[in-house]
Each structure stands twice: as C-alpha cells, then as structure tokens.
Chain A
Amino acid sequence: DGGITQSPKYLFRKEGQNVTLSCEQNLNHDAMYWYRQDPGQGLRLIYYSQIVNDFQKGDIAEGYSVSREKKESFPLTVTSAQKNPTAFYLCASISPGNTIYFGEGSWLTVV
C-alpha cells in the first residue's frame, strides 16, 4: 500500500545535539511538508518542498533544516539552535489532486 512512513516514532535528544527525523513516501508525490505540533495546539508548518532539490521555509523554520535529494525522501533535522524542540512532528505529502497524506508522526523529547 502507498503511504508515508515516519521514523523513529519516539526519539530522545540531549541538549546540544542535532537529530534527524525520517520521512519516506512511495506515492510519487512532488510536494512534501513538515509540521510541528505542541500539546493542545494546531499544526504549524516548518518547511515544505515542491520538487527535488528545492524547499521553502514555513512559519517556524528557525532551528530546523531539511533536504530533498530524492523525490521519496524529505528528512528533517532538528538542530541545537532549536531551543524548545520537544514536540510531535508530522510529515505530509499532497497529490496533484490536492489530497493530503500524513505519516503517523514522531515524538521528540529533549532530555
């Protein structure tokens, strides 16, 4: 079945460390997105990519970085510059017909 796979489901980071969250899709979608969600809050856009080797900042890009070297992969790195990284992270893609597909999310906790 086609879909989006995020890994790991749970991740712990020590302060000062960079961590990378994986997002892989086999839907052949061009557009992919990363969101952050804090408890009781909505989804906030971090970065998005419309095509391989291209990406744009969303509303809260500071402290994050992404790459899009392959169509099916859009990894998110949470850098040490992100001062409050503990959150739930969601990856999504969108079909040409504007149907949105989500991964199951990754929980990141700073210890």
Chain B
Amino acid sequence: DAKTTQPPSMDCAEGRAANLPCNHSTISGNEYVYWYRQIHSQGPQYIIHGLKNNETNEMASLIITEDRKSSTLILPHATLRDTAVYYCIVPRSSGSARQLTFGSGTQLTVLP
C-alpha cells in the first residue's frame, strides 16, 4: 500500500471544524484516498474517498493537494459523537494482489 502518515492525536472544540491531515507521498496516479473512522472497537465506518478533486458528502469534506501527496479530512461542525480514530488509507494493487494495510490513525477527541 501507499504508506500513509497521520498525527497520532488531535483535539477539537465541539462545533468547530476538525481538520485531519494525512501524508501519502508515494501515491500513484490511479490510487484513491479513503477515510474511515472507528469508534470503540466497532467495525470501521466509511467516511469519504477521492482521487484528484475535492469531495464533499453529508459527513465530511476531503481536500486533496494538487500533487496528491497529502489530503485533509474536514468535519465542518464537530460533535462529541465524532470522537473516534480516523484512518487514511490508500489501497494499492500490485499485480493480482491488493494488500490493504492501515496505519495507526489519528485519535480525534472532540471537547465540550
């Protein structure tokens, strides 16, 4: 997989925007960036994904730099329920194999 690097933890005040960065400097031209989050050791939940253009859905926005070497997940109005571990993932195909590895993610804590 394209290696991803995320800060281990971040805090955000409730109601403010949470901006979570991810570096993926070895990403290839046809590889997507995916974001998931995991709450209390449940199965991770899909948030958003993108290739080149910025993306927005009902949960979040994804900003990808022009060189695609980094991205930022934005939760526009963080709530206490957004406290979770956030993973940035770049699935990579190598021949017939698609290994899928996760980093340690970012523990986001939303503070009241």
Residues of A within 8 A of B (CB): 4, 31, 33, 35, 37, 39, 41-45, 48, 50-51, 56, 58-59, 88, 90, 92, 94, 98-100, 102-105
Q: Which of B32, B49, B100, B103 sits near A42, CB closer than 8 Å?
A: B103
Q: For residue B42, which residues in chain A have a CB less than 8 angstroms away from its CB?
A: 104-105
CB-CB contacts below 8 Å: B25-68 with A:
32, 34, 36, 41-44, 46, 49
| Interface size of B in residues (CB-CB distance below 8 Å) | 23
- Determine the distance from Cα of A92 to Cα of B34 in the docked complex, in whole angstroms: 15
Known A-B contacts A43-B102, A50-B97, A94-B100; the reply to A99 vs B49 at CB < 8 A is yes
Asked if residues A98 and B104 are in contact (CB atoms below 8 Å), the reply is: no
Asked if residues B34 and A100 are in contact (CB atoms below 8 Å), the reply is: yes
Asked if residues B41 and A59 are in contact (CB atoms below 8 Å), the reply is: no
Closest B residue, CB atoms, query A105? B43
Closest A residue, CB atoms, query B89? A100
Asked if residues B36 and A50 are in contact (CB atoms below 8 Å), the reply is: no
Q: Which of A4, A42, A88, A105 sits near B102, CB closer than 8 Å?
A: A42
10 inter-chain pairs at a CB distance below 8 angstroms, sorted by A residue, are: A4-B43, A31-B100, A45-B100, A48-B99, A48-B100, A94-B91, A98-B34, A100-B34, A100-B91, A102-B44
Asked if residues A50 and B100 are in contact (CB atoms below 8 Å), the reply is: no
Asked if residues B105 and A102 are in contact (CB atoms below 8 Å), the reply is: no
In the complex, how many angstroms separate the beta carbon of A41 from the nearest chain B beta carbon?
Answer: 7
Q: Which of B43, B85, B102 sits near A103, CB closer than 8 Å?
A: B43
In the complex, how many angstroms separate the beta carbon of B47 from the nearest chain A beta carbon?
Answer: 11
- Determine the distance from Cα of A4 to Cα of B100 in the docked complex, in whole angstroms: 17
Q: Which of B46, B98, B104, B105 sits near A99, CB closer than 8 Å?
A: B46
Asked if residues A100 and B36 are in contact (CB atoms below 8 Å), the reply is: yes
What would 9 more interface pairs be, CB under 8 Å, given A42-B85, A58-B99, A105-B42? A35-B102, A42-B105, A48-B100, A98-B32, A98-B91, A100-B89, A102-B43, A103-B43, A105-B41
Q: For residue A42, which residues in chain B have a CB less than 8 angstroms away from its CB?
A: 85, 87, 102-105
